[in-house]
Amino acid sequence: MRRRRTLTTVVRRLAEGTALVAALSFGLFWLLARMPGDPLDALLATDPGLTTTDIAQLRKAQGLDDPIPVRYGRWLRRLVVERDPGFSRVHKRPVLEVLQGRTTSTLKLMAGALGLSLALAIPIGALSAIRRHTVFDHGITLMTFAGLSIPAFWLGLVAIITFALWLPLFPAGGSPTPGAGLLEQLRFLALPMLVLAFETTGGWTRYVRASATEALGSDYVRTARAKGLPESTVVLRHGLANALVPLATVVALSGPGLFSGAVVTETVFAWPGMGRLLYDSVLGTDHAVALTSFLTLATLTILFNLLADLAHSWLDPRAQLP
């Protein structure tokens, strides 16, 4: 019965998400079409010899003078029927080819930052809960608030000055050459990954501390202590194990936030990922790439929300899927 109800909820949420993405796609298409700048600016920059007549013919051939609903319908039909989101006027390639390599780079950055954040937030937050109201706890609280307050672009610049100029341990930015070894790839990935992880570790540490503090003060932990169980068993098995259940929801919902941080981080470090591509495509009026990138982020946000609810329901059977 529970499995059937879960399946029904998943199907309903996916249908709602599809409708939401469709509505969002029109809103984004309209906003990009109304933005200042001409989509043909990139072409004019590479071929300044184009006359006014040539430009008018290009606009007519590409349908840029058609009403926005007509252009949106044409784009949506091509996306659904032909699975083709368009052609990048800046990169002179299909959008899917442009996104393919960039997506892999962003996933590497996000996965590394996610793993590093969890590796730091869980033990530090747990120790803060165990040693709450001590000097250690106050110091961690100060550091977490710093992580929540310092802008990513400022921290990225400080990291470049410190670890690429003063202490030339890592490259200042860019990406490794194709075919580079694992160590060389990690050298280029280290600074943007550390900056992105620092932006998320503070909030997760505070969340782990709050959940662990509540769990360690619960009745079942006091009962475990009353039974004479070792303190390590009480803390790890009965306290922290239950405190980490809500963290799964927070981590699952952090995907869009990590991507937003990646936009700034990739721009500062010139990392060739989707975040930098989105930034450049908006400034360069490359509407096909910008729209596809935004919709990819929206789709991932909806899927991450669904995965968060499923994970919470699986880890805590008392929870009901909304």
266-303 tens-digit pLDDT? 888 888 888 888 888 888 778 888 888 888 888 888 88
152 has pLDDT over 80 = yes
22 occurs within a structural domain? no
d(CA 92, CA 1): 53
Burial 296-314 (b: 16+ CB within 10 A, else e): bbbeebbebbbbbbbbbbe
Residue 161 confidence (pLDDT): 92
Q: Which two tokens stand for residue 6?
A: 């879960």
94 occurs within a structural domain? no
176 occurs within a structural domain? yes
Q: Which two tokens stand for residue 190?
A: 């280290």
- Looking at per-residue pLDDT, the higher value among 36 and 205 belongs to 205
Domain extent, residue 62, equals 37-84
42 has pLDDT over 70 = no
Contact 207, 125 (CB under 8 A): yes
- Among residues 258, 279, 274, the alpha carbon closest in space to that of 95 is found at 274
What integer best gives the mean pLDDT of the chain?
A: 81
- Looking at per-residue pLDDT, the higher value among 257 and 295 belongs to 295
7 occurs within a structural domain? no
Burial class from Cβ neighbours inside 10 Å (0-12, 13-18, 19+) for residue 318 reads exposed
For residues 129 and 217, membership in a common domain is answered with yes
Residue 290 confidence (pLDDT): 86
Residue 321's pLDDT band, with cuts at 50, 70 and 90, is low
For residues 260 and 146, membership in a common domain is answered with yes
For residues 111 and 74, membership in a common domain is answered with no
Residue 119 confidence (pLDDT): 92
Q: Which residue has the tokens 């890592």?
A: 170
The domain total for the chain is: 2
For residues 131 and 210, membership in a common domain is answered with yes
The answer to which of 102-111, 153-162, 190-199, 234-243 has the lowest mean pLDDT is 234-243
Tell me which H or E stretch contains 306: helix 287-315
How far does the chain reach from its first CA to its final CA, in angstroms?
16
Please say which residue of 22, 56, 84 terminates a domain: 84
For residues 140 and 253, membership in a common domain is answered with yes
The stretch 149-178 carries a mean pLDDT of: 86
d(CA 134, CA 34): 55
For residues 208 and 262, membership in a common domain is answered with yes
Residue 39 confidence (pLDDT): 65
184 occurs within a structural domain? yes
205 has pLDDT over 70 = yes
Residue 52 confidence (pLDDT): 67
The stretch 210-226 carries a mean pLDDT of: 81
Residue 120 confidence (pLDDT): 92
228 occurs within a structural domain? yes
- In the chain, the amino acid numbered 31 is L
200 forms bridges with which residues in the sheet?
A: none
- With a CB cutoff of 8 Å and minimum separation 6, the contacts of 109 are 189, 192, 193, 196, 262, 265, 266, 271, 273
Residue 254's pLDDT band, with cuts at 50, 70 and 90, is confident
The answer to which of 91-95, 246-250, 269-273 has the lowest mean pLDDT is 246-250
Q: Which residue has the tokens 């990392």?
A: 271
For residues 219 and 135, membership in a common domain is answered with yes
Residue 69 confidence (pLDDT): 86
For residues 138 and 74, membership in a common domain is answered with no
259 occurs within a structural domain? yes
d(CA 155, CA 199): 9
Q: How many CB atoms lie within 10 A of CB 160?
A: 19
